[in-house]
Structure 1
Amino acid sequence: VSGLTGAGLPELRAALDRLAAQLPAPTLDDPVRLWVDRSFTVRGSGTVVTGTLGAGRLRVGDELELAGADEPVRVRGLHSLGEARAEAAAVARVAVNLRGTPRDRLGRGDALLTPGRFHHTDLVDVRLAGDPAADLPATLTLHVGSAAVPVRVRPLGPDTVRLRLARPLPLLVGDRALLRDPGRHHVSGGVRVLDVAPPPLARRGAAAARAQVLAELDGRPDLAGELRRRRLIRAGALIRMGVPVQDLPVHAEPMRDGPAYAEPVAGDWLADPAHWRRLGEQLTEEVARHAREHPLAPGMPVDALRQRLALPDRVLVEALVRPPLRIHAGRVGAASADALPEAVARAVQRVRAEYGDRPFRAPEADRLVDLGLGPREIGAAVRAGALLRLADNVVLLPDALDDAVRVLAGLPQPFTLSAARQALDTTRRVAVPLLELLDRRGATRRLPDDARIVVT
C-alpha cells in the first residue's frame, strides 16, 4: 500500500471492511474500561480525557474509578464525534470531562473503569501467536489498550508464557494485546490473556504442569472450567476476572449434595460440585476422627476444621455441615443424644440404677469419682442429655425437673425451702440449686419473703 500513489488502498479498505464485518457486536451492558490516550485541560471545564469506548455505555453523572488508584471520578460532560452527548454507547470515540480531577492524575495508558468490576494484576498467563515462546527475550513491552508496560517473560509451553508486568493493569480473561521488542523494533506476536490470577510456580515441575493446563484454555471465559481449576472462589472475584457468573448456564443436573455451577454454596462463594462433595466427605471423616481421639469433647472446633480442610472462610465449614452432624457453640459434632463413650454411658447407667428411686438425691463427689464421672465425663453426659447439672459436682437424672415441679405443685402455696427439701426428700446441697434452676426456667417464682410458688 502506498500513501503517496494510493496503490493498494482499495484492497486495504476492502480488507478492513471484511474484518469489521466479522467483529462481534459491542455489549452495552458490559462494564466500562476506557483506555486513556490523551488528557488535557479545557479552560472553564477542567480535565478532559479521550479514548475509545469498546464496551458498555457512559452517561453524564456516572461515577468511574481510576485504574490503579481506586480513586472515584465523576463524568461532568461527554463529547463524541464533535457533539455534546448525555450518553455514549460502544463502540465510540469519546471525550470525557471529569469533575474535580487534576490533569496530572492521569495520562496515556491509564484507564477509567466501572467501579469494582476489574481485577488489577501484574501477573498473567497468555497464549502467544508469533515468535516461538522459547525464542522470546527476557524482557519485552506489552501493548494493551493505550498502555505500554515493560514485562518480564517466562516461557511455559511452546506458545504459552507468563508475563510479570512492571505495574498492575485492569485485565480480563480473553483480552488481546501485543508483545513488542523495542530494542529491535520488532513485534514478537499477539497474545490472548488466559488467566489474570495464575497460581504460583513454586515447586519443581510446576511450570510444565501449568503449561499442560494452559494448553486446554482458549481465552474464552469458562465458569465451569474456572471452578474445576480453582475449586473455591468468590463470585465477585470471577466477575472481576471477566468470567460472567449469572449469564452462563447452570450445570444441567445439579448434584444431590452439591450446588449447581452458578449457585453459591455460602455467601458469594462458588464451588466446583465434585470438590464440594469431597469436602463434605472429608469433613465427616475429620469429625469422626476427632471424636475417636477426643471422645469427651463436645465436637471439633469450626476453626480447626477450617484449617484441616484448607478452607479460606469459616462460613464454608458451616455450609458443609449436614445431618446427623450439627454446629453448637462453635463446634461440629453428632446431633444424636446417644453418642456417649461406652465408659461414660455405663457410669450414667449405674447412676440411674442407684438413684432411680431417689430422683432428688445427688451422688456425692467421691461417689462420682468412684463411678468414673470426672468433670469432662459429666460435661459429655450433660451435653448428651443423660444427666442434669445443678452445680459443680451436683448432678441429677435428666427428668428430675419435671418430677420436682409435680411434687412442689402438691404443696400448700407458697412453700419454703425447708418444705420443698422435705417434700423432695433431698438435702440442702441439692434443693437450693434445684429451686434456683426452676426459678430461672419460670417453673417457680421466688417471693419477697423467700417463699416460692409454682407457676401454672
Structure 2
Amino acid sequence: MKKHFTIGMAGHIDHGKTSLTKALTNVDTDRLKEEKERQISIEPGFAPLYENEEMQVSVIDVPGHERFIRQMIAGVAGIDLVVLVVAADEGVMPQTKEHLQILDFLGIKKGIVAISKIDKVEADFLALVKEEIMLELEDSIFKMAPVVMVDSLSQKGIDEVRELILSELAGLESRDTKGPFRLPIDQVFTVKGQGTVVRGTVYEGSVEEGKSLLILPHHIETKARQLQVHHKPAKQAFAGQRAALNLSSVAKEEIQRGDVLVSSEHFNVTKCLDVSLRITGDLEHMVKQRMPIKCHIGTSEVMGRIVFFDRNEISSVTGEILCQLRLEEEIVTKRGDRFILRRPSPPETIGGGWVIDPQGDKYRFGMKTIEELARKKEGKPEERIISAMVESKGLSITELMTRTSLDEAEIIQVLDQPEFVSYARDQYTTGREIESLTEGMYDRLSEYQLANPMRKGINKAEIIQGLHAVFPKALLEFVLRLGEEKGTWKRNGQFFATADFTPSVPKNWSKRVEGMLQAIKQDRLQVRYLENYLHDAGIPETIRPELTYFLVEQKLLMPLDDRFYLSADMFSEAVDNLKEHTEGSFEVSDAKAVLGLSRKYMIPFLERLDMEKVTRREGNKRIWL
C-alpha cells in the first residue's frame, strides 16, 4: 500500500523554517494577514512536498515564537520526521532548545538538521558553525541525525534536503490505516456554499466520502460530505495524511481545535489519566503536588493538576515518574498517546510522557499505588491484546502485532487461551466481547419488539447497519448465528426476534381489533371498505397500516384489493363452496351463481384466487390448481 507521511519544520523564530518550506514546496505557508504583516508564523502552515506511486509526503511549518508554543505542539503532534532548522549566523537559541525538548517528549525519533542562512556566514567558518551546533545537540534525538547546509534564497542544498527527507522516510513504516479513524482537529473554518470544514493530520485509520463520524468529546454526529488532501478533492484519506473534511449537520461554532473526529464511539473520552512522566533537565521552578498545569495532547490544550503518589514536589529528577493528570475538561486519548506538560505561569515546559491508562481511578498516596501503576505500564501480553480488542472489538494477528508491539509467536500463544474466540478467518475477539455483544443484541431485539409488537422482528440488515460503526461485520454475523444456534433468538427469513416473542396486537387495542374482526366476519362476503371498520373500531390512523399488514400476515384477513378485506375464514369458506359446485374449471357467471356476489366483489375475489395460485386464468375460464 502507498505510504503517507507528514514531516515537521521546527526551530527558533526567524531561523528560516517558512523560507525552507517554500523553497521545497513552492508554497508560502504564512497565509494569514497578520503573519504577512509581522513576518512571523502564528499558526501551523501546511504544504505538499512529494508524491509518487509509493509515497506521499506533507510538510508542517510550526511557529517558532515562544508565544505560539501551543500551536507548535499541535502542529508537530502528528509528524513522522522533523527537520530542525538552525540559522548559521545565530546557532542554537532558547526556542530551539524548547522545541528539542518537546520533540523528545513526543517520542519523535527521526530527524534531520538543516543549518540555514549559510550565505550569511563566511564559508571558512561553516565547519566551525556546524561543530558548535552539533555540540549543542549532543544530548538530543539529533545526535546522530544527518546534517545539511542550506540557503533558501540561493537554493543551495535544497535538493539535498529533499533527497534526505525521502531517504529517511523510505525506511519508516506507515501508520495504521486498518483501525478506527482518528483525526485531532487543528483548524476549523467555513467555506462559502460548503459549510463547516475541519483540518488535521489523520492519526490512524482511514475515512471516505459519505462516512458517518463523531466529533468527540461532545458526541456530535456528522458525515464527511467531501474530502480534500493537499487541496485536491479525494475519495479517501489515510493515516499520515493531512486532510480537510467538509462536515454536514454541524456549525463552525460547535467545533474547536482539540476536538477529535472519529469513526467509533470506543475512543476514550476522559478527564483522568495515569501517565509515565519525564521532567525536563533544566527546570527553572519547582513542580509541586496538585500544581496547575497545561496539558497538550494531540491538538488539545486543557488545564488540570498533576497528582503524585510517591512525592510532594520535584526540583530535579531523572528517569520516569508514575503519576496522574486530572484535567478540567474532557479530552480524547488512548494508551500510548504522547503529551506535553507546561506551567501556565510563569510559562515553562515542565516535561512530557505517555498515557498508561486513559481511564485513571482515584488512588491512595503510597508505594502500593506506584507498584500498581508500574504493572499497568508494563502490561502483560494478554492485557495488551485484550486492551486492543476492547477498543477495536475484533482484530487479525497482523493488526494485533501493530497495536501491541508483540511478535507473532507471543500473540498466537495468548490467542490459544479459551477466553479468546476466532469468529472468522484470522479474526479474533474475546469471549467477554461476544457476551457483551450478545446481551446488546438481545436488548436491541427486546426494545424493538416492545416498540413494534406486531412485526415479525427486526431486519438483519438493520441490526448490522446499526452496530457496524462499532463492531466488524463478520463479528456481527458470527454472533447472530451463535445466538440462533443457542436459542437466544430465532430467525424468520431476514427477521430476528427473541426466542419467546410472538407478534401480537398491543393490549390497549386488542379488544377493539377483536370486535372489528368479528364485524368483518359477520358481513361475510359483502364487506365495506376496511377503513370504515378501522374507523368504527376507534383504531388510530397512525397504527392502521401496520395493523392491517399484521392481520394479513397472521392470516386473519384476506385482501381482495387495497380497499376490501374479507375475514380469512370467510374467504376459505367461499373457495370451498365454489370448488364444490364447479368442476375443474369455471367462468365468472358460474362463480356469481354460486356465491351471489356483485361485480364490485366478484372481480377482486377472482383476481385474488389467481394471485394466491388457487386458480389460473385461461381466456374467460379459470382452472383450479
Question: What is the TM-score normalised by the length of structure 1?
Answer: 0.49
Instruction: Name whichever structure is richer in helix by fraction.
Output: 2
